[in-house]
C-alpha cells in the first residue's frame, strides 16, 4: 500500500514538474495573475451617480467578481489543457512503455498523473488567491485612506464635543465596514468551491482521455460535458418537477443524465457569496463532498477503461 | 561479490548479484505457448496477425536474439512479454509468473526501441524517477545512480535535460534506467539502432558483461554481426511467425556441401592434382574436411527475403 502510494506520488511529482516547465501553462498562469492584479485598476472606473460608500462597495464587488472569475476561467483552461494531454502525450511520446514496464499498475499510473494535475491546480489556485488577496488589500487601503481623508476634512472645522464624538464614531464604523467587506471569510468558501469544480473538470477530462486517441477530442468532449453539467439543473427542474408535461422517456433521460454528468450549476453558489449573501459552511461542505465523490467515481471508471486499453 | 568493468575509457564498480545457484532450479526466464496477437482492422473487416502462435523457451543466463524485418512481430513479442498488450491467444510466463504481475516486472528491465523519456528531466532526475518507481530509494538509489552513470559513461550528461541528448546518449540513459533495479532479465528492443559504431560496440560489450553477471538478455537487432557476437541462440521472425530458432553453431552450419581447408597455399598445378586426387577418392595427409559455414547475414537473408514482399499478414475475420 505504501509502495503503491510512493509510485503514485513519484508520477504525480513528475507530472507537476513537467507542467511547471512547460511554457504554455506558465504563460497561462502569469496571465491569470495579471488578470487578478489588474482588477484593482479596472475597478476605478467610476459609475455615475454613486456616493463615496456606494462607489467603494461597487469597486470591492468588482475586484471580487473579477478575481474569482479569472481564477475560475484560467483554472478551467489549465485543468482542461493539462489533463487532456496526459494520456495521448504519453502514448505519442512512447514514455508510457518504459513506465508501465516497471512494477507500476496502470491504475497507479493514471492516479499519479491525475494527482500531478491536482497539485498543479492547487499551486495555480494558491498563487492566484495570493494575487487576489493582494488586490483586495490594496483596495482596502484605498478605502481606509479615503475614510481617513473624510474624517480629517470633517474634523477640520470647529465642533462641539458631541459632534466630534459623532464624527469619530462614523469614522470607526466606516473603517469596520471597509475591513468587514474586504476580509470576508466567505471568500475562502468561494475559493474552495472553485478548486473543487476545477478538480472535477480534470476528472472528467481524465475519464475521456482514458479512451480517447487525441487531445482535441478530449478537450471538445470535456467542454461539452461541462456545458451540459451547467444546463442539466435547469432541464431537471423543467422536466422532473411536479406537473411538468413530460414523457417517461424524457424523465428517464434527464434522470440518467443527472446521474452520469455532475451538476456543475450547483457551484454557481459562488456568485451568491460574491454578491455578499451568506452561504453556510454546511452547504459548502456538502458541495465539496459531492465533488469528492464524483471525482472518485470518475477516477474508478477511468481506471477500469485504461486497464483494458491497448497501448 | 564486486567486479570491475571497463567500458570505453570508464571504469565502473558494479555490485553483482550472484545467480549461479538459482540457474538450475529456477523456472525458465521466458516461456510462451501459442502466444498470438491479432489486431482488428475495422475499416477492412479483417484481422492483422502481428504474432502467430509463438512458442519460446529461454533459459536463465541466456542471451537470446530476435531477428526479423520490420513488422515481423519482434516488438509485439516484447510488448506481450512485458504485459503492455494482452494476448489474443496463448500464454506467456516470466520466471513462471504472469508478465503483467508486479512480481514479474520487478525482475525485468526494458529498453524500448527509440527510447523516449521525459525530455524535461536531466539524466540524474530520470534515473531517480525510474528508481523510485521500482522501489529503490534513499542512499541505495544514490549509489545505484552513481554506478550506472559511470557504467554507461554519461558523467558529462547527468545534469543536462534529456531534450539536449544525442541519440546515443538517449540509448545509454535508456540502458541505465533498464538496469536501475538490478533486474534478472533484460528486454532490449533495438539497443544499437541509430548509435555510432563506438557506442554500438560499447552496448555489445555491456550485453556480454550482463551475461557474465548471470543476467538473461533478450534483444532484437538489425545488426547481424553484433547478434552473431553476443547471442547464444537466435530466433528469426517473418510475418509474425518464428520461422527459425537455434544456437548459432547449429544454424550457421550449412546442410549441404563440403568445405575443404588446406593450411598452405597451393599452386594451380597442385590444386589440379588435389582435385584429381579427390576424384579418385585418394586424400592427402594435410587436407582437412569441414562443413561450410554461412554468415548470419546469409542465413537471415535466405530465411526472410522470399517472404518480405507482402507487407503484413492479414486474415479474414472468422
Distance CA A244, CA A85 (A): 42
Q: Could you tell me the pLDDT band of residue A49, with boundaries at 50, 70 and 90?
A: low
Residue A281 has what pLDDT?
92
- Range with the lowest mean pLDDT among A128-132, A285-289, B181-185? A128-132
Residue A24 predicted with pLDDT over 80: no
Write out the H or E segment, with its range, that includes residue A269: helix A269-274
Residues facing A189 on adjacent strands:
none
In a mutagenesis test of the A interface, which of B79, B88, B104, B133 is the best target, namely the one with the most A β-carbons within 10 Å?
B133
* Structure-derived torsion over alpha carbons of residues A30, A33, A34, A36, reported in degrees to the nearest 10: 160
Residue B307 predicted with pLDDT over 80: no
- Closest Cα in chain B, distance from residue A86 (Å): 13
Residue B8 predicted with pLDDT over 50: no
CA-based Rg of chain B, rounded to a whole angstrom? 23
Residue A212: which residues within 8 A CB-CB, separation 6 or more?
A: A87, A88, A218, A221
Q: Do the chains contact at B86 and A310, CB–CB below 8 Å? A: yes
Q: A310: which chain B residues are within 8 Å (Cβ-Cβ)? A: 39, 85-86
Task: Identify the closest residue of chain A to B104 by CA–CA distance.
Answer: A103
Are B151 and B213 a contacting pair, CB within 8 Å?
A: no
Are B49 and B78 a contacting pair, CB within 8 Å?
A: no
Distance of CA B220 to the CA centre of its chain: 4
Distance CA B170, CA B163 (A): 9
Residue A112 has what pLDDT?
96
- Range with the lowest mean pLDDT among A180-189, B213-222, B249-258? B249-258
Residue B2 has what pLDDT?
38
Three-point CA angle A256, A258, A262, nearest 5°: 130
Q: A213: which chain B residues are within 8 Å (Cβ-Cβ)? A: none
Task: Identify the closest residue of chain A to B137 by CA–CA distance.
Answer: A6
Sheet hosting strand B30-41, strand order edge to edge? B89-94, B30-41, B46-58, B314-316
Q: Could you tell me the pLDDT band of residue A26, with boundaries at 50, 70 and 90?
A: confident
Q: Could you tell me the pLDDT band of residue B261, with boundaries at 50, 70 and 90?
A: low
Residue B314 predicted with pLDDT over 80: no
Residue B21 has what pLDDT?
40
Residue B190 has what pLDDT?
87
Q: B129: which chain A residues are within 8 Å (Cβ-Cβ)? A: 10, 14
Q: In 10 A of CB B101, how many CB atoms? A: 13
Residue B33: which residues within 8 A CB-CB, separation 6 or more?
A: B55, B90, B91, B92
Higher pLDDT, B298 or A222: A222
HEC string for chain B: CEEEEEECCEEEEEECCCCHHHHCCCCCCEEEEEEEEEEEECCCCEEEEEEEEEEEEECCCCEEEEECCCCCCHHHHHHHHCCCCCCCEEEEEECCECCCCHHHHHCEEEECCCCCCCCCCEHHHHHHHHHHHCCCCHHHHHHHHHHHHHHCCCCCCCCCEHHHCCHHHHHHHHHHHHHCCCCCEEEEECCCCCCCHHHHHHHHHHHHHHHHCCCEEEEECCCHHHHHHHCCEEEEEECCEEEEEEEHHHHHECCCCCEEEECCCCCHHHHHHHHHHHHCCCCCCCEEEECCECCHHHHHHHHHHHHCCCCCCEEECC
Averaged pLDDT, B185-209: 84
Averaged pLDDT, A92-100: 90
- Range with the lowest mean pLDDT among A62-76, A248-262, B5-19, B152-166? B5-19
Q: What grid cell was written down for B291?
A: 562443413
Higher pLDDT, A95 or B269: A95
Distance CA B286, CA A96 (A): 62
Q: Could you tell me the pLDDT band of residue B96, with boundaries at 50, 70 and 90?
A: very high
Q: Could you tell me the pLDDT band of residue B255, with boundaries at 50, 70 and 90?
A: low
Distance CA B118, CA A93 (A): 9
Interface membership of B73 toward A (CB under 8 Å): no
Residue B19 predicted with pLDDT over 70: no
Cross-chain CB nearest to A99 (options B109, B121, B133): B133
Distance CA A171, CA A166 (A): 9
Residue A187 has what pLDDT?
92
- Closest Cα in chain B, distance from residue A210 (Å): 15
Backbone torsions φ then ψ of A22, nearest 5 degrees: -85, 130
Helix axes B167-179, B197-212, angle to 10 degrees: 10
Q: Could you tell me the pLDDT band of residue B17, with boundaries at 50, 70 and 90?
A: very low
Averaged pLDDT, B304-311: 54
Residue A9 has what pLDDT?
96
Query: What separation in angstroms does the CA of B159 have from each of A19, B153, B164, B181?
Result: 20, 13, 11, 21
Residue B285 predicted with pLDDT over 70: no
- Closest Cα in chain B, distance from residue A4 (Å): 9
% of chain A beyond a pLDDT of 70:
93
Cross-chain CB nearest to B118 (options A14, A100, A308): A14
- Range with the lowest mean pLDDT among A170-179, A190-199, B93-102, B223-232? B223-232
Higher pLDDT, B165 or A246: B165
* Interface size between A and B, measured as CB pairs under 8 A: 72
Interface membership of A105 toward B (CB under 8 Å): yes
Higher pLDDT, A181 or B262: A181
Which of B167, B162, B102, B158 has the alpha carbon at shortest distance from B133?
B102
| Chain mean pLDDT for chain B | 80
Residue B22 has what pLDDT?
41
Residue B283 has what pLDDT?
54
Residue B263 predicted with pLDDT over 60: yes
Proportion of chain A in helix, strand, coil states, percent, rounded to 5: 85, 0, 15
Residue A175 has what pLDDT?
86
Distance CA B310, CA A143 (A): 81
Q: What grid cell was written down for A269?
A: 453558489
Are B170 and B199 a contacting pair, CB within 8 Å?
A: no
Phi-psi bin for B214: left (phi > 0), alpha (psi -120 to 50), beta? left
Averaged pLDDT, A74-88: 91
Distance CA B20, CA A103 (A): 25
Residue A142 has what pLDDT?
82
Residue B316 has what pLDDT?
52
- Range with the lowest mean pLDDT among A81-95, A219-233, B179-193, B263-277? B263-277
Residue B297 has what pLDDT?
67
pLDDT of A148-177, one tens digit each?
888 888 888 777 888 888 888 888 888 888
Q: Could you tell me the pLDDT band of residue B15, with boundaries at 50, 70 and 90?
A: very low
Q: What grid cell was written down for A198?
A: 476545477
Residue A109 predicted with pLDDT over 50: yes
Three-point CA angle A89, A92, A94, nearest 5°: 100
- Classify residue B67 as exposed, middle or buried by CB count within 10 Å of its CB (0-12, 13-18, 19+): buried
pLDDT of A213-230, one tens digit each?
888 999 999 999 999 998
Residue B239: which residues within 8 A CB-CB, separation 6 or more?
A: B49, B52, B71, B72, B73, B307, B310, B312, B313
Q: Do the chains contact at B84 and A97, CB–CB below 8 Å? A: yes
Q: Do the chains contact at A98 and B106, CB–CB below 8 Å? A: no
- Closest Cα in chain B, distance from residue A1 (Å): 12
- Range with the lowest mean pLDDT among A173-182, B30-39, B132-141, B245-254? B245-254
Q: Do the chains contact at A95 and B118, CB–CB below 8 Å? A: yes
- pTM value? 0.80
Amino acid at each position: 500500500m505504501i509502495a503503491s502510494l510512493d509510485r503514485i506520488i513519484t508520477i504525480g511529482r513528475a507530472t507537476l514538474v513537467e507542467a511547471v516547465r512547460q511554457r504554455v501553462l506558465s504563460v497561462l498562469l502569469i496571465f491569470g495573475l495579471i488578470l487578478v492584479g489588474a482588477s484593482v485598476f479596472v475597478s476605478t472606473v467610476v459609475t455615475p451617480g454613486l456616493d463615496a460608500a456606494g462607489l467603494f462597495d461597487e469597486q470591492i464587488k468588482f475586484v471580487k467578481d473579477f478575481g474569482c472569475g479569472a481564477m475560475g476561467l484560467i483554472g478551467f483552461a489549465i485543468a482542461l489543457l493539462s489533463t487532456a494531454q496526459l494520456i495521448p502525450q504519453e502514448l505519442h511520446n512512447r514514455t508510457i512503455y518504459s513506465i508501465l514496464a516497471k512494477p507500476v499498475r496502470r491504475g497507479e499510473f493514471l492516479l499519479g498523473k491525475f494527482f500531478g494535475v491536482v497539485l498543479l491546480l492547487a499551486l495555480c489556485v494558491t498563487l492566484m488567491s495570493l494575487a487576489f488577496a493582494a488586490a483586495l488589500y490594496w483596495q482596502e487601503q484605498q478605502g481606509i485612506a479615503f475614510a481617513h481623508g473624510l474624517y480629517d476634512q470633517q474634523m477640520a472645522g470647529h465642533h462641539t464635543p458631541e459632534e466630534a464624538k459623532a464624527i469619530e464614531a462614523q469614522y470607526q464604523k466606516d473603517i469596520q465596514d471597509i475591513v468587514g467587506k474586504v476580509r470576508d471569510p466567505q471568500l475562502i468558501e468561494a475559493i474552495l468551491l472553485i478548486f473543487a469544480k476545477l478538480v472535477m473538470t480534470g476528472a472528467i477530462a481524465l475519464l475521456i482521455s482514458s479512451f480517447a486517441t487525441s487531445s482535441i477530442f478530449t478537450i471538445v468532449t470535456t467542454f461539452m460535458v461541462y456545458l451540459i453539467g451547467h444546463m442539466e439543473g435547469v432541464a431537471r427542474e423543467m422536466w422532473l418537477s411536479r406537473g411538468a408535461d413530460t414523457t417517461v422517456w424524457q424523465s428517464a433521460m434527464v434522470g440518467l443524465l443527472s446521474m452520469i454528468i455532475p451538476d456543475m450549476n450547483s457551484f454557481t453558489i459562488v456568485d451568491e457569496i460574491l454578491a455578499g449573501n451568506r452561504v453556510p459552511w454546511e452547504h459548502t461542505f456538502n458541495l465539496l463532498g459531492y465533488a469528492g465523490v464524483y471525482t472518485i467515481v470518475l477516477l474508478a471508471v477511468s481506471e477500469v477503461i485504461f486497464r483494458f486499453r491497448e497501448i | 561479490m564486486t567486479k570491475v568493468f571497463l567500458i570505453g575509457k570508464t571504469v565502473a564498480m558494479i555490485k553483482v548479484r550472484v545467480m549461479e545457484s538459482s540457474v538450475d532450479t529456477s523456472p525458465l526466464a521466458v516461456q510462451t505457448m501459442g502466444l498470438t496477437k491479432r489486431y482488428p482492422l475495422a475499416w477492412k473487416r479483417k484481422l492483422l496477425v502481428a504474432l502467430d502462435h509463438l512458442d519460446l523457451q529461454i533459459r536463465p543466463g541466456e542471451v537470446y536474439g530476435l531477428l526479423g524485418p520490420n513488422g515481423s512481430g519482434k516488438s509485439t513479442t516484447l510488448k506481450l512479454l512485458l504485459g503492455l498488450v494482452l494476448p489474443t491467444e496463448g500464454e506467456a510466463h516470466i520466471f513462471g509468473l504472469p508478465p503483467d504481475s508486479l512480481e514479474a516486472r520487478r525482475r525485468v528491465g526494458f529498453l524500448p526501441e527509440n527510447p523516449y523519456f521525459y525530455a524535461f528531466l536531466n539524466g540524474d532526475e530520470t534515473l531517480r524517477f525510474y528508481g523510485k518507481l521500482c522501489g529503490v530509494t534513499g542512499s541505495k538509489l544514490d549509489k545505484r545512480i552513481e554506478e550506472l552513470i559511470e557504467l554507461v559513461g554519461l558523467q558529462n550528461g547527468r545534469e543536462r535535460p534529456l531534450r539536449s541528448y544525442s541519440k546515443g546518449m538517449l540509448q545509454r540513459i535508456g540502458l541505465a534506467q533498464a538496469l536501475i533495479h538490478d533486474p534478472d532479465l533484460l528486454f532490449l528492443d533495438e539497443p544499437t539502432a541509430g548509435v555510432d559504431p563506438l557506442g554500438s560496440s560499447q552496448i555489445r560489450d555491456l550485453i556480454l558483461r550482463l551475461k557474465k553477471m548471470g543476467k538473461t538478455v533478450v534483444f532484437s537487432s538489425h545488426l547481424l554481426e553484433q547478434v552473431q557476437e553476443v547471442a547464444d541462440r537466435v530466433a528469426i521472425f517473418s510475418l509474425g511467425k518464428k520461422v527459425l530458432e537455434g544456437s548459432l553453431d547449429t544454424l550457421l552450419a550449412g546442410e549441404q556441401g563440403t568445405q575443404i581447408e588446406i593450411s598452405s597455399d597451393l599452386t594451380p598445378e597442385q590444386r589440379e592434382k588435389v582435385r584429381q586426387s579427390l576424384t579418385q577418392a585418394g586424400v592427402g595427409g594435410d587436407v582437412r574436411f569441414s562443413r561450410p559455414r554461412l554468415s548470419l547475414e546469409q542465413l537471415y537473408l535466405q530465411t526472410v527475403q522470399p517472404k518480405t514482399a507482402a507487407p503484413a499478414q492479414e486474415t479474414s475475420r472468422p
